[in-house]
C-alpha cells in the first residue's frame, strides 16, 4: 500500500548500489553473511506520523552480498519534495553523494524519474550520478540509513508548512529529532534550515540553539556558503515563496566536536 515503507535494519544492510550505479566499486562482491532479522533498528508500530496516516514499515530483506560503493552518502535533504535542491547541488559537489528523502511515494518516484532522465542526457554518463532519492519517513528511520557521524550536511528546506497545527512531536525539528541529526552528523557538519514561516524559523532556532551538540553559524559564514544561495533559490518551495514575494528565514547550525553536556 501507499503507506508501506521499506527501510534497512542497519545502515550496513542498505543496498546503495542501485541508487548510485556510477559509484559502485569495481571490486568483487562482498561475501558478508546476512544479518537478516537481527539487530533491529528503530521499527514501525509506534506513533502515527503527521498527514500520512498509519503506516507499516518493513525492514528490507538483507542481501548477503550487495555491491559496495566507493564512498558513502554525505549529504541528506530531509523532505526533499520535487528534488530542486538535489539537482542544483549535484554539479557543485560532483564527488559527494547526496540523498533526498521524501515520504510521499509519488513525489519520490517523480524525483527518481527526474534523476534518471538527467543522467540519460549526459553522453559521458558522469553527470547527476551523485544524487538519488528514496522514500523514507525521516522522523522515524534516520539512524537506520546513516551511521554515526556519516553526514557532513543535512538540509531541512521549507518543512512543516502547517507548522502551527502540528503537534510538537510531529515536527521535523524537535528535541528528539535534533538528537538524531546530531547522531548522523559528523563534528563540524552543518544543519541547513530555511522556511517562509517566521514562527517555524523561531521554533527551529530555539530548539537547535538549546541542543548541546549544535551552535549557530554566524551570519557572515552563512552568507558566504554557496549552499545557502542554492537553498534560497533552487527548491520548488523556495521558488513558490519567491513568486509570492514572501520572506525566507535561514539558519545554519554546526555540529560541535565535544558538546558540553
Ligand atoms: N524541501 C522541498 C522544497 O523546499 O521544495 C519540499 C518542501 S515541502 C513543503 C515538505 C516536504 O516534506 C513534502 O514533500 C513532504 O512530503 C515531505 N515530508 C514531510 N514529512 C516528512 C517525513 N517525515 N519524512 C520525509 N519527508 C517528509
Task: Go through the chain and tell me how many residues it has.
Answer: 261
Does the model's ipTM exceed the 0.95 cut? yes
The residue-averaged pLDDT of 82-95 equals 97
The residue-averaged pLDDT of 129-158 equals 96
Helix, strand or coil, per DSSP, at residue 30: coil
Over 60: is that where the pLDDT of 259 sits? no
Beta-strand pair 185-195/151-157: parallel
- C-alpha to C-alpha distance for 133 and 98, rounded to whole angstroms: 9
- 185 forms beta bridges with 151
- C-alpha to C-alpha distance for 24 and 28, rounded to whole angstroms: 11
Mean pLDDT of all residues belonging to the chain? 86
Helix, strand or coil, per DSSP, at residue 87: helix
Cβ of 90 below 6 Å from ligand 1: no
Ligand 1 pocket mutation pick from 6, 48, 79, 233 by most atoms within 8 angstroms of CB: 79
Task: Report pLDDT for 141.
Answer: 87
- The CA 222 to ligand 1 mean position distance, Å, reads 23
Task: Report pLDDT for 42.
Answer: 45
Return the residue matching grid coordinates 539558519: 251
- C-alpha to C-alpha distance for 153 and 189, rounded to whole angstroms: 6
- The CA 79 to ligand 1 mean position distance, Å, reads 3
Cβ of 81 below 6 Å from ligand 1: yes
Task: Report pLDDT for 203.
Answer: 94
> Do residues 190 and 255 make contact, with C-beta atoms less than 8 angstroms apart?
yes
- The CA 40 to ligand 1 mean position distance, Å, reads 26
Return the residue matching grid coordinates 508500530: 45
Angle, helices 175-184 vs 198-210, to 10°: value is: 60
Over 70: is that where the pLDDT of 49 sits? no
Cβ of 104 below 6 Å from ligand 1: yes
Cβ of 236 below 6 Å from ligand 1: yes
Positions marked active-site: 160
- C-alpha to C-alpha distance for 259 and 98, rounded to whole angstroms: 27
Amino acid at each position: 500500500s501507499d503507506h508501506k515503507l521499506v527501510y534497512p535494519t542497519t545502515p550496513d544492510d542498505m543496498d546503495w548500489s542501485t541508487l548510485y550505479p556510477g559509484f559502485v566499486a569495481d571490486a568483487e562482491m562482498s561475501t558478508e553473511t546476512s544479518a537478516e532479522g537481527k539487530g533491529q533498528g528503530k521499527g514501525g508500530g509506534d506513533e502515527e506520523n503527521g498527514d500520512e496516516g498509519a503506516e507499516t514499515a518493513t525492514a528490507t530483506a538483507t542481501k548477503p552480498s550487495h555491491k559496495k560503493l566507493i564512498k558513502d552518502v554525505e549529504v541528506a535533504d530531509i523532505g526533499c519534495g520535487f528534488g530542486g535542491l538535489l539537482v542544483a547541488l549535484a554539479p557543485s559537489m560532483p564527488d559527494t553523494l547526496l540523498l533526498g528523502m521524501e515520504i510521499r511515494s509519488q513525489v519520490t518516484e517523480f524525483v527518481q524519474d527526474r534523476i534518471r532522465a538527467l543522467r540519460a542526457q549526459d553522453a559521458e554518463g558522469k553527470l547527476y550520478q551523485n544524487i538519488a532519492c528514496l522514500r523514507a519517513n525521516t522522523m522515524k528511520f534516520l539512524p537506520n540509513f546513516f551511521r554515526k557521524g556519516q553526514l557532513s550536511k543535512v538540509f531541512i528546506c521549507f518543512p512543516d508548512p502547517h507548522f502551527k497545527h502540528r503537534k510538537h512531536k510531529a515536527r521535523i525539528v524537535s528535541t528528539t529529532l535534533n538528537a538524531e541529526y546530531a547522531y548522523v552528523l559528523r563534528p563540524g557538519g552543518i544543519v541547513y534550515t530555511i522556511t517562509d514561516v517566521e514562527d517555524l524559523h523561531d521554533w527551529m532556532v530555539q530548539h537547535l540553539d538549546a541542543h548541546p551538540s549544535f551552535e549557530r553559524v554566524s551570519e557572515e559564514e552563512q552568507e558566504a556558503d554557496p549552499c545557502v544561495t542554492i537553498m534560497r533559490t533552487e527548491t520548488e518551495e523556495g521558488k513558490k515563496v519567491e513568486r509570492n514575494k514572501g520572506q525566507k528565514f535561514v539558519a545554519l547550525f554546526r555540529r560541535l566536536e565535544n558538546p558540553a553536556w
